[in-house]
Structure 1
Amino acid sequence: MSGHFVCATCGQSHDGLPTDWGYKLPDDVWAIPAPRREEVARFTDDLCQYGDRYFIRGLLLVPLPDMGSDFGWGVWAEVDAAVFQRYVEFYDADGSSEPLYSGMMANSLPGYVSSLPAPIDIRFLDATQRPLFSLSERDRSTLAIEQRTGMSSVRYHQILDALQAYEAASHPGQQEEREDAAPDRSTLCISCTHVVDGGDSVMVVSRSGGDWVLLCGHTDHSHDEDDETLRILHWRHLVDRDPSLKDMIPALEVDYSAERTVVGGEWRKFFDPDTDD
């Protein structure tokens, strides 16, 4: 799948940002050194047996309401031998009438504190589709909540950054781009409605956690990932409005921020690590 987003300022739709991410094997199997892996485990693209442990591959969907689509995690679940055998029986048939089966997540997902171990429900589908995985309604983890309610555009870009896919999608062929380089005009950044809609000046720039975040400095919005006052837009829209950003903005390393007290004034840089779990 390939997704798109709409810039909050220019209104243009941009294609090419990934909306799925898959794992070739369960984490415990992938951790086995490659020369030995095929000696101790048997696996295909959809099935894996490692000793007396059994795994099947499925799809865990997280809604992206702003894009009208889903982010699909292609992950593995560890299941009992009986569930594994039942899935094999329906591998080339329609298993959508089967009851829900139980399993445990077998991959840790970047961008989440911990997705292991997490009980999941498994829904078999027809022969053309992998099973659907769903986290329990009682699960209060971030992943479970986002699967039920969806993730915001800001959160989506945090996931892309965690996957080290964000820069690759925004700057093809420049995967090794320096993290402390100043943004160019096409760089995507996060700002607030005070700046984007209200015309306030940018007084705080942050790379806490990796993203470029440019804010007004007001304290009446939280800047959390679900904050509705946040917007995604191109760096050029802010620079065109305030040329002093281009001349004065420091090249910030990840987990540093900078602030100024007046437009055109000197930037004060400080260490600002992302402490969110």
Structure 2
Amino acid sequence: MTNDLGFTCSCCGVQHLELPMNYSTIAPYVWDESFSDRSDCLLSSDQCVIQAQHYFVKGLIEIPVIGSDDVFSWAVWASLSRENFARAADRWDTPGREAEEPYFGWLSSDLPLYSPSTINLKTHVHTRPIGQRPLIELEPTDHPLAVEQRTGITLDRIHQIAETALHPTPDNA
């Protein structure tokens, strides 16, 4: 999803026609490309298994945009127990799967725009209807990402995120 507000980047001065309203991580932070050739590892757009011991699903951390009906989102990975991963996988294409109780997980994506690290924040993974990524709800702590999920963010904050994503530095890459 993008927004038609556009913005002028304070880093490079370029007028960008759209303000991105979502960002995505490719794989859990523990994924290594050397796993690609292993039979006990899998990385798809929605699920990841590492050495038949670590299990992950991709979902959305949704953040309300203050003063609007818009939602900003991070597509991130959460680890699940073997049992919960198997249960979620068994119901992946089952109508009504959204009635499942949320699964406990650990956030497994590093979002370097946040300090301290986002790795291993406690989550609840809420299954949604077929075709929709799960909703990842962070434990209500004082971590800046958890606070943003609870209280929302401004368009200025989204501009800041876009500029940081477009112009990474060693500190936020």
Q: TM-score, normalised by structure 1?
A: 0.53
Shift of 1:4: 3.5
In the alignment, is the contact (CA less than 8 A) between 1:124 and 1:131 conserved in 2? yes
Question: Which consecutive segments of 4 or more residues in structure 1 shift more than 3 A?
Answer: 4-7
In the alignment, is the contact (CA less than 8 A) between 1:104 and 1:117 conserved in 2? yes
Instruction: Decide which of 115, 120, 123 is 1:120's aligned counterpart.
Output: 123
Q: What is the match of residue 160 of structure 1? A: 162
**1:83 lines up with 2:84 in the alignment:** yes
Q: Which of the two has higher C-alpha Rg?
A: 1
Backbone CA RMSD of aligned residues: 2.1
Aligned mates of 2:109, 2:5 — CA distance in 1: 27
Gapped regions of structure 1 (runs ≥ 5): 8-13, 166-209, 211-253, 255-277
Shift of 1:67: 4.4
Shift of 1:15: 5.1
In the alignment, is the contact (CA less than 8 A) between 1:4 and 1:17 conserved in 2? yes
Aligned mates of 2:44, 2:99 — CA distance in 1: 25
* More contact order relative to length (CA 8 Å, sep ≥ 6): 2
**1:136 lines up with 2:142 in the alignment:** no
In the alignment, is the contact (CA less than 8 A) between 1:48 and 1:55 conserved in 2? yes
Shift of 1:68: 2.7
Gapped regions of structure 2 (runs ≥ 5): 8-15
Query: Percent of counterpart pairs with the same letter?
Result: 28
Aligned mates of 2:136, 2:5 — CA distance in 1: 26
Q: TM-score, normalised by structure 2?
A: 0.82
Aligned mates of 2:166, 2:160 — CA distance in 1: 10
Equivalent residue runs for 1:104-119 within 5 Å = 104-113=106-115, 114-119=117-122
Aligned mates of 1:17, 1:102 — CA distance in 2: 32
Equivalenced residues, count: 156
In the alignment, is the contact (CA less than 8 A) between 1:4 and 1:67 conserved in 2? no
